[in-house]
Amino acid sequence: MKYCRHPYYPARYAALAADRVRVEAETGDWGEFDRNAVWLEGPLRHADPVWCRWVTSEIAASQALAGDA
């Protein structure tokens, strides 16, 4: 899994799928969110919606292109 560190907050974001993001705080708490930062599971219950969309955008774009082929 490839993580991206948030530029302003001490958290790492990773796209699990085009519509699912895992966020890990430096404290070890984690949460999974949809691409609009709506909480799905885990003890961490908040995420940056812009960052969630950004980390999933590459996967969403590649899936859209694959569907057009």
Three-state SS at 20: strand
Structure tokens at 2: 């490839």
Where do we find the tokens 């799928």?
17
Annotated domain spans of the chain: 4-68
| Residue range 9-28, pLDDT digits in tens | 889 999 999 899 999 999 99
Structure tokens at 7: 């530029």
* This prediction's pTM: 0.79
Residue percentage of the chain with pLDDT more than 70: 84
Where do we find the tokens 């948030």?
6
Residue 42: left if φ>0, alpha if ψ -120 to 50, beta else—which one? left
